[in-house]
Amino acid sequence: MPPRVVSVPKTPKESYNPNRPASSLLLSQALHLHDTLQWHVAEVQAVLAINPKKLRTERELSEYAHKVTRILHPHSAKRRRK
């Protein structure tokens, strides 16, 4: 079955005013993005702290690859089975 295409009308040019004060919604979204980005930075720093040259077993390398993949492709990384 082909994907359903939904047409979205273009936003009128007058809808965006770069000099207009930001709304509380936009400010709230910016704060949420900032908080989320800080979480990702911490996660990336933790993975970058791992030296891949010191990984010796297939398990260690598999776990490392999983961590990196989860960061680079968060929507496609599968959950680990326990």
- 24-38: per-residue pLDDT in tens? 999 999 999 888 888
Angstrom distance (rounded) from CA 15 to CA 17: 7
Which residue stretches of the chain are H helix?
Answer: 24-48, 58-72
Q: What is the pTM for the complete model shown?
A: 0.54
- 3-17: per-residue pLDDT in tens? 899 999 998 988 889
67: nearest Cα among 57, 7, 49: 49
Hey, what long-range contacts does 33-42 have (CB within 8 A, 24 or more apart)? 40/71
- The Cα-based distances of 24 to 31, 60, 62, 64 in angstroms read 11, 46, 44, 40
